[in-house]
Amino acid sequence: VIWENIYPRGFPFHGAALRLGKAHRMARNATSSTIHDVARAAGVSIATVSKAVNNKGRMRPVTRARVHRIAQELGFRPNDLALSLRRRRSFTVGLLSNDIYGRFALPILGGVEEALAARCTSVFLCNAADDRDIEARHLASLLRKRVDGLVFTARRADSEFPAERTTPRIPIVHVNLEPRLDGPALLADDRGGARLGTAHLAALGRTRIAHVSGPQGFRAVRLRHAGYRDALAQAGLTDAGALFGDWSEAWGWEAVDRLFTARHGATHPDAIFCGSDQIARGVIDALRHLGITVPAQVAIVGFDNWEVLAAGARPALTTVDPCLKALGIRAGETLMGMIDGTPEPSGECLLPCRLTVRASCGGAA
């Protein structure tokens, strides 16, 4: 095929007749029609085309209509790159995480994307993969691309992320992450959520409520433990034991072994508030294995509302939902507000968790 003049004015190959495959043509990003093409075809100036297609300014209705029609026929698609250059606003934001693969980043990411799409802005997805170099490169690239704002998220709220400490001069929001740069941080209220889950157990009449959670090095673990103790105190109950291990089902099995097999007598817990659904899942499976019925003998509450684990459990797991997607949506909206000029205080802002009631506590919703 001979393509003539597919290179626009000013391009090195302009004017040459070149023999090119489709692939090559596509590589040059298939020069779609511009405002000049429309202007020429409609017999007007580019200024008029601009006003017409943007429904701005004043002109004879018939002119506007003709321009519209021709733009349509030519498949005219305004070039946002040019627009952004002029506007000094790209309608683009960067989402940077140290762990995009993590199960928890996903709903946040989806929420942010949803909120931004609703405000006509696109999001660049960047995974720093726990690598400082990659993180720096992503950040530099985002800044060169003139994103209007930045959102940071991480695997853990207490991550040392971003490592970069110089704040770029654009709005920033942190999601489920302690803020390390200027700008607000939206976090799930772990402590409040734990209070909610534990109080649910107490309200159902359980009096010997144990706690099985992850590594105490995690901020989330400490906060959830604190919330558990808050609720106990409030209900006038005493601590039936808090066990800390790792984030795994295996640890749930082991904890049950410690709580029910190794100990004896009537001191067994009648409820367990777990620090994660994974742990809760192990606990439930282990109890069934021991012939201890859930919820009749022991009621269980988890944390995370990780659908595949919680809904698949037998009985299905009642659990605290950190509402990560809502967090993402809220973050997206906050960022858009800042971009539009609404001042936002730096610092942490906690969003409430919700209890998702299934079958593992017996009580109905």
Partner DNA sequence: CTGAAAGCGCTTACAG
Binding positions for DNA, rule: CB under 7 A: 8-12, 31, 34-36, 43-48, 50-51, 53-54, 56-60, 63, 76-79, 81-83, 85-88
Q: Which of residues 143-162 bind its own copies (CB under 8 A)?
A: 143-146, 148
Contact 216, 210 (CB under 8 A): no
**Interacting span for its own copies (CB under 8 A) from 41-49, 60-68, 112-120, 349-357:** 112-120
Q: Which of residues 169-228 bind its own copies (CB under 8 A)?
A: 169-171
Interaction of residue 141 with its own copies, rule CB under 8 A: yes
How far apart are CB 251 and its own copies at their closest, in Å?
10
How far apart are CB 214 and its own copies at their closest, in Å?
14
The secondary structure of 129-140 as a DSSP string is: TT-HHHHHHHHH
263 binds, among DNA, its own copies, none (CB under 5 to 8 A by kind): none
* Nearer of residues 33 and 63 to its own copies, judged by Cβ: 33
58 binds, among its own copies, DNA, none (CB under 5 to 8 A by kind): DNA
308 binds, among its own copies, DNA, none (CB under 5 to 8 A by kind): its own copies
Residue from 337, 352, 354, 356 nearest 187 by CA = 352
How far apart are CB 115 and its own copies at their closest, in Å?
11
Q: Which residue has the tokens 């595949």?
A: 308
Interaction of residue 109 with its own copies, rule CB under 8 A: yes
Rg (CA), the chain: 28
Binds its own copies by CB under 8 A, chosen from 68, 344, 350, 354? 344
Peptide bond into 315 cis (omega under 30): yes
Could you list the beta-strand ranges (E) of the chain: 2-4, 17-19, 92-97, 122-127, 149-153, 172-175, 184-188, 209-213, 242-244, 271-274, 299-303, 318-321, 347-351, 354-356
Q: Are strands 2-4 and 17-19 parallel, antiparallel or unpaired?
A: antiparallel
* Nearer of residues 161 and 253 to its own copies, judged by Cβ: 253
Longest dimension (CA), the chain: 94
223 binds, among its own copies, DNA, none (CB under 5 to 8 A by kind): none
Helices marked H in 15-119? 22-27, 35-42, 46-53, 61-73, 80-87, 105-118
* Nearer of residues 97 and 198 to its own copies, judged by Cβ: 97
How far apart are CB 11 and DNA at their closest, in Å?
6
46 binds, among DNA, its own copies, none (CB under 5 to 8 A by kind): DNA
* Nearer of residues 82 and 203 to DNA, judged by Cβ: 82
Q: Are strands 318-321 and 299-303 parallel, antiparallel or unpaired?
A: parallel
* Nearer of residues 64 and 288 to its own copies, judged by Cβ: 288
Contact 286, 310 (CB under 8 A): no
